[in-house]
Chain A
Amino acid sequence: MLEIKGLHKNYKVGKDIVKAVDNVSFGVEKGDSIMIFGHSGSGKTTLLSIIGGLTKPDSGTVRYGDTELWSLTDNDLSEFRNRRINFIFQFSSLIPTLTVLENVILPTAFNKAADKHRGIDAKDLLFMVGLQDKLGAYPSQLSGGQQRRAAIARAFINNPEIILADEPTGDLDEETEAEMLALFRKMNVENGITFLIVTPNTDIAGQCNKHFVMNRGILTPRDMG
């Protein structure tokens, strides 16, 4: 369902050129659960951003089925993000002025289509991440882990084909992390949602069916047995 070919992305930092993403190619099948791990600064977030339509690659293609992502108009790209992709960001990504519930339903505000509520109900999602008591709370009233869980709940609201998760369990304790990973697995198996998970360590290797290592912008497959 997703074909990535020859992605390059360089950043100019002063006189140096940083090869953040260097000739990355790989394929993703529907229902895959893919893990990418690598050190800090290896280019993981940059790669996810290109695949998610947030930053344009210098060269290369990102093809979802018949759709070449980076040849879409900006409007179509926005709509694509809204309907078919969702993100879990590395850092806190809740809108501070909105309540937890409003943050979760936020993506539906950009969807004018009739089937905008085709996903799981926002309250059910918040129940699944254990925030059913915090619907009306503001992000500033939540702990870091609770904010993260709200962001995870939001990732499912539009019933996306693929979730691009950037260190999604970074600030969770072990128990909560296990719960969230179980939720991912359930969504993966029951709803057929594809996951692309970036992580600095190999903890979640067990629940992923494909594994990659990223190093200085270069992505290589890794057999995790």
Chain B
Amino acid sequence: MSFSLSTLAYKNIRRKFFRSMAISAAVMVVAATLFSVTTVMDSVETSLTRGTRRLGADVMVVPANSESKAMASLLAGEPSTFYMDRGIEEKIRKIEGVKKVAGQLYLKTSRYKCCDTGDMFIVGFEPEHDFTIAPWLAEALKKPLAPKEAIMGRSITAYIPGSSFQIYSELITVVGMLEATGMPFIDNALYLPIESFRGMVETTDNGTVNVFDKLNNEISTILVQTDPAYAPRRVAIFIESQIEGVKAIVSEDVAASVRKQLFMLLRSILSISVILWIMSILLISVVFSMIVNERQRELGLLRALGAKRTDIFKLIISEAAVLSMAGGVIGIGIGGLFLYLFREPIKAALNVPYMWPQPINLVLLVLICLFLSFLTGTLAALYPAVKSMRMEPYAAIRGGE
């Protein structure tokens, strides 16, 4: 028959069940906030850096008066339409530091006017110039995309490859699907060659209008890939100074400014949880001092029966560690559940292409939060543990009388 110190620690935890629960609960609250906030921060960070990289363009040229509309489209995938002269595309091609140029034309579908599905974001692109869409094809197409053929973003549920849909007078067939990118702009849009608009006829009260005629000389966004030798910001300045009426948005800056705004908010939440953390360490420390005082006599008896100083230390620390780890595990669970249940409102509130951190980051965050939880209990119990381990056995036994 044998008996180990961990049994004693376990029984001590059970002895004052409510108090043990309270200690765990304190750590739980801290772990839950810490985990959810850092997870959101990490998600925002990854989705911004990855997202802007995924857009594939270093500079995005849009009509000068449509900057905010364009940002909403590019970052949050909100369907919106804005147009400028298509001739600009050729002008940009000649600007110093510009490597690749691809135009995109945006259309928003309307169930009443044109199409069989409403509020769909349709992007007309130039397959011959494109450098942002094709890399995301889940499977390479068997032949180049022909007019009236479309590729769909991964989040579109209305169609599958092979299905067809109506835009104005034309029947379009979906022939391919993109990988999930986490960027709503890419995931929620339908892509078809700009040429597909040719011959589209819109029927209005005043008769029929050739849609492509209307859009023939229009373009919404011109995506620019810069020469690595030139900083995108410099190229943007070249573009704005040489072409009237356009705004050249630098991808890096978009991410940076959004990140700055969001992190200001998240950082204040984070500092609150850090304060919470410190307070809970102090609180648990007080509780553990009480526990140790209460058990002074017992600890003295253990010493008399042969417990080493380190045994006493381990006994107290392991009790604290178990309680705070339990709190940490539950807290992380609750934090994760919270993020999962409220993912849509959170996405909406942050208004960014939000997604979960990469699995490796998620694992890392869980481990960090677990370690911090463990640290909470052990730090809090450190002083009481050292104090009681240093006590003379006889004094401890007498002191507890």
Q: List chain A positions with a Cβ less than 8 A from chain B.
A: 49, 52-56, 74-75, 78-79, 81-83, 86-87, 89, 91, 93, 95-98, 101-102, 105-111, 116-117, 121-123, 154, 158
Contact = CB atoms under 8 A, between A and B. Distances in A.
A97 B8 contact: yes
14 contacts: A54-B300, A54-B393, A75-B310, A81-B305, A87-B305, A89-B301, A91-B401, A95-B298, A97-B11, A108-B2, A109-B8, A110-B307, A116-B2, A154-B305
Contact of A106 (B12, B300, B305, B392): B305
A102 B309 CA distance: 21
Contacts of B300: 54
A54 B11 contact: no
Nearest to B401: A91
Contacts of A75: 308-310
The 4 closest A-B pairs by CB, nearest first: A82-B306, A55-B394, A110-B306, A54-B394
Contacts of A98: 8, 11
Contacts of A122: 1
A81 B309 contact: no
Nearest to A48: B394
A78 B392 contact: no
B141 interface: no
A54 B299 CA distance: 12
A55 B393 contact: yes
B401 A83 contact: no
Interface string B100-136: 0000000000000000000000000000000000000
A159 to B, nearest CB: 13
Contacts of B1: 101, 105, 117, 121-123
A56 B305 contact: no
A190 to B, nearest CB: 23
Contact of B4 (A89, A109, A158): A109
Contacts of A81: 303-306
A62 to B, nearest CB: 14
A82 B305 contact: yes
Contacts of A109: 2-5, 7-8, 307
A105 B2 contact: yes
Interface string B1-28: 1111101100110110000000000000
B397 interface: yes
B187 interface: no
A83 B15 CA distance: 29
Contacts of B231: none
Interface string B301-336: 111111111110000000000000000000000000
B395 interface: yes
A67 B313 CA distance: 27
Interface string B378-401: 000000000000001111010001
A79 B394 contact: no
A121 B298 CA distance: 24
A102 B301 CA distance: 14
Nearest to B15: A97
A57 to B, nearest CB: 11
Contacts of B301: 89, 93, 95
Given A78-B306, A81-B304, A110-B311, A54 B3 contact: no
Most buried by B among A54, A86, A107: A54
A92 to B, nearest CB: 9
A105 B126 CA distance: 82
B323 to A, nearest CB: 15
Nearest to A154: B305
Most buried by B among A78, A81, A121: A78
Contacts of B298: 95-96
A55 B15 CA distance: 30
B2 A74 contact: no
Contacts of A154: 305
Contacts of A74: 308-309
B304 A54 contact: yes
Interface in B245-269: none
Contacts of B395: 55
Nearest to B306: A82
Nearest to A76: B308
Given A55-B392, A107-B305, A110-B308, 7 more contacts: A54-B303, A56-B392, A78-B303, A78-B307, A78-B308, A97-B15, A123-B1
A79 B5 contact: no
Contact of B306 (A49, A101, A111): A111
